[in-house]
Structure 1
């Protein structure tokens, strides 16, 4: 039981750490912490009290303190869990003004105050479960309904999967607790709560699995984002040093090459002139290559304005027409709806161009590239989908890393395109995710915060 208590509180801490600025995340964390108090009461009753009662260190004051701590912990869990769960469901909803939700949270707290008033805690905790069921069951059922309806209404496949995971990890365990702790106790069955141990243990294991594979409540996203941001900062610094050093050394080579070129012209040495031209071409190519790397790696400063997003997409597709013609690729763009976004159109144009070029290179003859635009709870989502060769599971975790590329035969590809796209989206406060299966195609999702929408 102590292990389950530790697991639940670690779970609450991890959830808070991932995105503590969001109110819904804080309520999800609070639900885990408050639920943990029930297991703390169990640890006190089942482990600590028996231990001290059999030891030589027991005193009446110590035993009374532990008993009181157990009662308080049990009260916090049983009275606070339904409220915290409902608040998590309410604040997870995209609809509704913050002020209204705040007033609602105060109103819904009233049953907890009434429960405190009618529940004796000393010398023994005595809940009136007939009264508890009257408000606890509606709280949990309404919260479950709100979370399930989010899944039903969601259009974004990634967010839809996230809602399924939330239902598995949050809704199902809380419904089980509702039956074992509240409903069963109105029937005189007080020991059924011990079955919650197995449910919570399974929940923690599933949380770890889902976090590693898909991400839960932002856990994987934050870990991946931190890794990529750290890598990108290091590569940006390295690119600046490389650019500075190479330019200095190439400048010296060019200086002496010009001297040799002048000497060759004066002496009419055509062979030497030819060799010098090769040296000059090589140095210019080296400078161009370093500059290209630097342009993709340097820190981006956005020049933001209001732009029509569909127009930016169409301009990028138009620029990629020559390479699209080589594969006879078909591009599907949704009918023009005015979606104005506060953004940097130049950088987004480059992002969409990169994505289209990547998609075309993965296509077979007569392949299809499809753009979709829709809104989710927090984002305007742009997806770029192709039915090309896809990316293997082994390579997929690394495709956003700078200098990683699956195009092994291309001497002009540095593996910086998607890294650049990721950096642009981060500067816009958004996200970039790639989903792909070998021989099934690839979909890139761009997430723009809804507060960037103009009107």
Structure 2
């Protein structure tokens, strides 16, 4: 039993420490800690001959294990599935679902010895735990984003068997008069702990792997920050030269529509880079955010416009846009646009001159998302977690320094957002960028969501 308590509290501590601000993680940790308190009650022994303070702790801890654990399971299911969208309504449900616990404390004694009628206890605990399982499975079933769906399925595979086993051994069998089966719980918890560690290392569960990767990536960024200062200074000087020379060329080249347009595109690109360069500090992990209001869709469109020379060279590459929402964001427009530019340029280079880049903007209850999906060569599974690391690159060119996607990651981290990647070799890659609701000033449903970049707007295209 001591092993069970240790493993439960260890899992709960790992989850909470890795992501203490997440409501889902708080309730997941609550389940582990409250179940652990039930185990502590067993370790304190039996009989009324024990000291008074031990009797009190035994009754109190055991009641937490029996009453609070199933309550935590159901609230976790509600929060994890986003079944209730409105925070005020969610608070009301949390209070109402406490009613059976209050009744149990009023009906059955806790001190000097915890006593409960398991038949009555099962009347509300069984629906609580079964409902939690249904909510978790429903959340995974209705998820449409493949990467998130996979994580939710893994969470179900980890959580649902544990909830069900605890319900059967601790409540249902006791209600039928079959006692002592809960002694097998430590073995189940041991197996679940090994599964938890395996999922956390290999796939990521409830955010644990993501946090490990972020810590490694952030430490790498600090290690390369001094070299980035020199790189930034050099780029600024060279771009300034290009800008000066192009302005001089405009004075000597006879005016015609094609050359003027191309020279203006070059100047727009150099001005964009100079604007960024003057505001990036000498360290990679310190960005000066110059925040203002801007339309997210316009930022994506501007990035595509700056890449027009690349698209003109690859006429068989089409960019399809699906903007289901029109979001006004408060953030650094230039650096977010540069992030989009980097990701789209990488997608173009990954497709060897032919394919489709699908750009989606959509919103959930808490975040706005931007997806960039290409039909390129994809990224090997063992390299996927390294893509956002500084100086890592899948490209072989000597001019590539592997800083573009690290910069993108850092920009969105500074905005309170995140970047995730899913990819399959020879099928393509999807970059999913997210920004929290605190960055959203206004958002409207866009009735015309589809267009392409190499021609007329293609409204209604699927």
Q: TM-score band, normalised by the shorter chain? A: 0.7 to 0.9
Residue aligning to 1:312: 299
Q: Offset at 1:224?
A: 1.9
Matches within 5 A, 1:387-426: 387-408=375-396, 410-426=397-413
For the Cα contact (< 8 Å) 1:154–1:376, is it kept in 2? Answer: no
**Aligned counterpart for 2:290 among listed residues 303, 311, 323:** 303
The structure-2 alpha-carbon separation of the partners of 1:438 and 1:157, relative to structure 1 and needing over 3 Å to count, comes to closer
Find out whether 1:344 has 2:332 as its counterpart: yes
**TM-score, length of structure 2 as denominator length:** 0.78
Alpha-carbon separation, structure 2, partners of 1:191 and 1:12 = 25
Cα distance between partner residues in 1 of 2:169 and 2:324: 54
Question: What residue in structure 2 maps to residue 261 of structure 1?
Answer: none
**Pairwise mapping of residues 356-435 of structure 1 onto structure 2 (< 5 A)?**
356-408=344-396, 410-435=397-422
- 1:170 offset after TM fit, Å? 2.2
Q: Secondary structure at the match of 1:331?
A: strand
Deviation at 1:243, TM superposition (A): 7.2
Q: Secondary structure at the match of 2:422?
A: strand
2:197 equivalent in structure 1: 208
- Indicate yes or no: 2:133 matched with 1:144: yes
> In 2, distance between residues paired with 1:12 and 1:443?
32
| SS at structure 2 position matched to 1:338 | strand
Aligned to 2:11: 11
Aligned length: 400
Deviation at 1:415, TM superposition (A): 0.8
Q: How does 1:211-250 map to 2 (within 5 A)?
A: 211-240=200-229
Q: Which runs of 5+ in 2 are unaligned?
A: 238-273, 443-462
User: In 1, distance between residues paired with 2:154 and 2:141?
Assistant: 13
Partners of 2:142 and 2:361 lie apart in 1 by: 16
Match of 1:118 in 2: 107
Provide the residue aligned with 1:35 in structure 2. 35
Deviation at 1:294, TM superposition (A): 7.2
Taking structure 1 as the reference length, the TM-score comes to 0.79
Aligned to 1:23: 23
Shift of 1:425: 0.7
Question: What secondary structure does 2:115 align onto?
Answer: coil
Match of 1:185 among 174, 198, 204: 174
Q: Is the 8 A contact 2:55 2:111 kept in 1?
A: no
Question: RMSD value over aligned CA atoms?
Answer: 3.0
Q: Aligned partners of 2:165, 2:35: CA distance in 1, in Å? A: 13
CA drift of 1:423 comes to: 0.9
Residue of structure 2 aligned with 1:97, choices 67, 82, 86: 86
Tell me how far apart the structure 2 counterparts of residues 319 and 406 of structure 1 sit (CA, whole Å): 23
Say which SS state the counterpart of residue 381 (structure 2) adopts: coil
Alpha-carbon distance change, 407 to 242 in structure 1, aligned in 2, over 3 angstroms: closer
User: What's the offset of the Cα at 1:387?
Assistant: 1.9
Residue 244 of structure 2 corresponds to none
**Match 1:452 to one of 412, 424, 439:** 439
Q: Distance in 1 between matches of 2:412 and 2:429?
A: 18
Q: Secondary structure at the match of 2:133?
A: helix
Three-state SS of the structure 2 residue aligned to 1:384 is strand
Offset of residue 108 of structure 1:
2.0
Alignment of 1:172 onto 2:161? yes
Q: Does 1:80 align with 2:68?
A: yes
Structure 2 distance, partners of 1:22, 1:394, is 28
Using the TM superposition, give the Cα deviation of residue 61 of structure 1 relative to its aligned residue in structure 2, in angstroms: 4.2
Residues 239 and 298 of structure 1 are in contact (CA less than 8 Å); yes or no, is this contact kept in structure 2? no
Q: Structure 1 residue 238: deviation in Å?
A: 4.4
Following superposition, the deviation at residue 241 of structure 1 comes to: 6.9
The 3 A distance-change label for structure 1 pair 203 and 100 is: same
Residues 300 and 340 in structure 2, CA contact (< 8 A), matched pair in contact too: yes
SS at match of 2:204: coil
Q: Contact between 2:281 and 2:287, CA under 8 Å: does it hold in 1?
A: no
